Amino acid sequence: MTSIKAEPFAFPMKRDALALIVIDMQRDFSEPGGFGASLGNDVGRITKIVPDVKRLIQGFRDADLPIIHTMECHRPDMSDLPPAKRNRGNPSLRIGDEGPMGRILIAGEPGTAILSELAPVDGEVVIEKPGKGAFYATELGDVLKQRGIQQLVFAGVTTEVCVQTTMREANDRGYECLLCEEATESYFPEFKSVAIAMIRAQGAIVGWTAHIDDILEAINA
């Protein structure tokens, strides 16, 4: 068994049972005119991690390991969008509203798409999720079981919301989870730092964290 250098201690990698999950690297969260910007966030914090996310994805492709992409989005009739989610906060554009890239976070709209630099290729699974966690109301659990996946490496945004939520869901289902520190980000730098500390506290209570070079070295050894 090959270990990945990680915190709080080495991650015991099972290469034949490992997959990468890239969370919500979508235009609506990372480009001007999208939902993230409508909330007043600096979307440049998201785009800065694109090169590292791309490098991580390519490393998993080169190692012939499975990659799963998620997209937060809702049906065009918004039947899967609770009013409490749509009405929360004070964005300039709410979910479902018409924006510069189409209707905000609605399946099939241009803004909902994954960034072109990180776009899935044939054979990679894409999960459309209506919530923050990727297991809620999706086929993700079935996909992982069918492929014999037991360990998950995480990248994407935002660290403290959709990434951490999915890691906690996976942890409760018995998956061993590892977060790539350079390939995740928050609109708030302090939130990323605190989320990383929470994830790996108390002996990896939610999961491990590691640097991209250490992950790539291990999977391509």
Q: How many residues does the chain have?
A: 221
In angstroms, the CA 130 to CA 82 distance is: 10
Query: Which residues are identified as catalytic?
Result: 24, 129, 162
Predicted confidence (pLDDT) per residue in 41-72, tens digit: 999 999 999 999 999 999 999 999 999 999 99
Domain of 179? 2-219
In angstroms, the CA 12 to CA 151 distance is: 10
What is the number of other CB atoms lying within 10 angstroms of the CB of residue 38? 20
Domain of 49: which CATH number?
A: 3.40.50.850
Q: How many domains does the chain have?
A: 1
Q: What is the reported pTM? A: 0.98
Residue 24: per-residue pLDDT: 99
In angstroms, the CA 148 to CA 207 distance is: 19
Q: Tell me the one-letter amino acid at 9.
A: F
3-state helix, strand, coil in the chain (%, to 5): 40, 25, 40
Closest CA relative to residue 152, chosen from 71, 66, 72, 217 = 66
Predicted confidence (pLDDT) per residue in 124-179, tens digit: 999 999 999 999 999 999 999 999 999 999 999 999 999 999 999 999 999 999 99
Residue 110: per-residue pLDDT: 98
In angstroms, the CA 75 to CA 93 distance is: 17
Q: Tell me the one-letter amino acid at 70.
A: T
Average pLDDT on 206-216 reads 98
**Residue 90 in this model has a pLDDT that exceeds 90:** no
